[in-house]
Chain A
Amino acid sequence: MIKRAIPILAMVTFLLSASIPLFAHHGTAAFESDKKITLKGTVTEWFWSNPHCLLRFDVKDDTGQVTHWIGETQNPVTMVNGGWSKASIKTGDEVTVTLNPVKNGLPLGRIVTVLLPSGKTLDANAGIRNNVYK
């Protein structure tokens, strides 16, 4: 358990001690856009905010070790255009999240879909697809 945790801890420590730029905000360069990971977890926060909403969820492995994942979406207006809302997800929801992970291996990613406890799937790209009518 500790052996497996060390690489993650080391990476986080390394990144925190490096000169992390303030106010970093990015386009799509940080993500592995052709890669998707699917995770099951428990929502700890659905942060409805600009410039991106953040879904924070805990993923527990078989040993009980918990990884705190964060997925981002587009801004609230685009998400509403895609059928999402602040009320779509609640703390405590058991969700299945598919996302494009970030390139540096941290538990962060850009959300593709969220399967809710109700069985409904939220598509994070629906608002983007609606941006320009074909």
Chain B
Amino acid sequence: MRIRSMPSFIVLASLIFSSLAVAQNNQAKPGPSKEAKAASGPAPRHDISGTWEPANGPGDGIQANGVKAMPNDGKPGHQPPYSPYGLQVYKSHHALEGADAVLPGFYDDPRDKCEPLGFPRMNFYNLRETQILQNPYKIVMLYQYATTWRVIWTDGRPLPKLVDGGVMVGNEVKEPRYYGYSVGKWTDDTTLVVDTIGMMGEDRVWLDTAGRPISDQLHVTETFHRVDQDHLDWSVTIDDPKMYTMPWVAMNKFPMRLENPHEDVMEQYCSPIEMEKYNKLFGDPSSAPTGKAPEK
């Protein structure tokens, strides 16, 4: 049942099919200047600290279609190497975005309830201005989305071992964590390799907005390469023997650029109260089903 036309005395004027000519708002965030791109100093040794943003644009890390290196766009070569169980879990996810996106109303991403995204999904959902602080013992990454953080130990401690129900740290079994347990090692003056284990399972978190799965058996390897003074390349490999038959690259040298250290980073948060109000006022009313949901 559809209303095809609003009463004419309510709607003013025209259905416009060509694009409006609108003056660009001159307060919009500008792109990097050619001068800024060209001039940069040498990379400092063992240092990835700073306020970083995606080098190709403030939204280049939004990743609405899924992980940067393997968006779920239906193109050949963009399907991760699912195990049979991994494919089954993927198909059980009703994602808002990607090649298998479902109709509105059938969507069940935990993000919609403002669940913690966890790691590594924090790298694949609205990756924006990222503040990295470091001291001799640890590196702390402050993500813009959800104003959340994670710790990478660089004090030489070993990566914990995965055990049933969690991880073994020394003689102690510790719980799985949304952001896992990370250790980092410098492999040369400008390259930091970070391993993370002990993350939450498939009943709590997704890998990305397209619904790719991860399990508590996941081992993530990141490489941070300080290219020069102003640039950082960020790579992520997913190794989850429960969900995938082999390791695969989810982010391949994603370029970040250094911002002014005095930059104020805005909050981007998920508020259950705001989400509820949005769904009540707009999300649910606009999502009246238009037909049967496609079979997965």
Q: How many residues of B contact A (CB 8 A)?
A: 65
- Are B2 and A104 in contact, with the CB atoms below 8 A? yes
- Are A38 and B12 in contact, with the CB atoms below 8 A? yes
Binary per-residue interface labels of chain B (133-160) against chain A in the complex, 1 for a CB within 8 Å, 0 otherwise? 0000000000010000000000000000
Complex formed: what's the CA distance from A12 to B25 in Å?
Answer: 36
Closest CB-CB distance, A124 to chain B, in whole Å?
10
Closest CB-CB distance, B171 to chain A, in whole Å?
43
- Are A51 and B104 in contact, with the CB atoms below 8 A? no
- Are B274 and A105 in contact, with the CB atoms below 8 A? no
Binary per-residue interface labels of chain B (252-296) against chain A in the complex, 1 for a CB within 8 Å, 0 otherwise? 000000000000001011110011011101111111101000000
Which of the segments B13-21, B79-87, B172-180 contacts the partner chain? B13-21
Please, which residues of chain A bring their CB within 8 A of the CB of B283?
23-26
- Are A133 and B32 in contact, with the CB atoms below 8 A? yes
Complex formed: what's the CA distance from A81 to B292 in Å?
Answer: 37
- Are B56 and A108 in contact, with the CB atoms below 8 A? no
- Are A54 and B57 in contact, with the CB atoms below 8 A? no
> Which parts of A113-133 form the interface with B (CB within 8 Å)?
113, 120-123, 126-128, 130-133
Q: How many residues of A contact B (CB 8 A)?
A: 72
Please, which residues of chain A bring their CB within 8 A of the CB of B195?
none
Question: B286 is contacted by which of A22, A63, A106 (Cβ under 8 Å)?
Answer: A106
Interface assignment of B189: CB less than 8 Å from any CB of chain A: no
- Are B104 and A24 in contact, with the CB atoms below 8 A? yes
**Interface on A for B, CB 8 Å cutoff?**
4, 7-8, 10-12, 14-15, 18, 20-27, 29-30, 34-40, 47, 49-52, 54, 56, 59, 61-63, 65, 67, 70, 72, 75-78, 80-84, 98, 102-108, 112-113, 120-123, 126-128, 130-134
